[in-house]
Amino acid sequence: MGPVGINKSNVGRIAERIVSNELEYRGFRVSDLNKEGPSANADLLAAKDGKTWQIQVKGATADDDFWFGYGHCNQANIDRTEPMFNRSKLGFYRAQYVVLVSVKSPKEYSCVVLPLNMAEKAAQINLDRGYRTPRMKDGRPKKTGKVWVSLDWIPNSKDPNRKALNETEVELLRPYRDNWDLA
């Protein structure tokens, strides 16, 4: 029986294991917060030198290029009445870091390791570009859906404002790519 591959059904768990492995390699102790089922707002708890961090992991499958997903937006995200991360008011867990993981294979992946405020800022820029601007063709609002970005490819946009927002988002994210310094 050969490998199943990475798909939308397993990419989240694979991404969480990648983040756990990267952190453990760097001396962190990592606990999976999803053992009893999905936990709200955070997937992993990392501890090192007497400090702890709650981490939300967002996994995305990658084919040719790496792309990073923030998750799916809803109308409240678009309307700015709900944040992209730490949406749930229930429970104890509140992510302090968000790790966006783009996975080609268990050996080939890239991660963007963001403090929560930077992850939220980048996601809001993305929502400004992708969902808060009307459609070019008919001017209607866009439907909710995946919120994603590529750091290696800037889409050719006819709208200079959208292109500028994409460039701003990418420049914000680049310093955090594969940067595992949580301190």
pLDDT of residue 133: 81
pLDDT of residue 168: 95
Q: Is the pLDDT of residue 170 over 70?
A: yes
pLDDT of residue 51: 96
In order of their start, the domains of the chain are 11-176 (3.40.1350)
The whole-number average pLDDT for the span 48-77 is 94
Q: Is the pLDDT of residue 53 over 70?
A: yes
The whole-number average pLDDT for the span 76-90 is 94
The whole-number average pLDDT for the span 42-64 is 94
Strand order in the sheet with 44-48: 29-32, 44-48, 51-61, 97-103, 109-115
pLDDT of residue 136: 67
**Helix ranges (DSSP H) in the chain:** 11-25, 75-78, 116-130, 160-173
pLDDT, the chain, mean: 91
In the DSSP assignment, the letter for residue 164 is H
More confident residue, 134 or 82: 82
Contact 126, 146 (CB under 8 A): no
pLDDT of residue 141: 78
Could you tell me the two tokens for 155?
A: 């889409």
- Burial call 132-166: b when 16+ CB within 10 Å, e when fewer: bbeeeeeeeeeeeeebbbebeeeeeeeeeebeebb
Interval 104-147: pLDDT, tens: 998 999 999 999 999 999 999 999 999 998 776 777 778 899 99
The whole-number average pLDDT for the span 161-178 is 93
pLDDT of residue 134: 74
pLDDT of residue 46: 97
| 2 — pLDDT class (breaks 50, 70, 90) | low
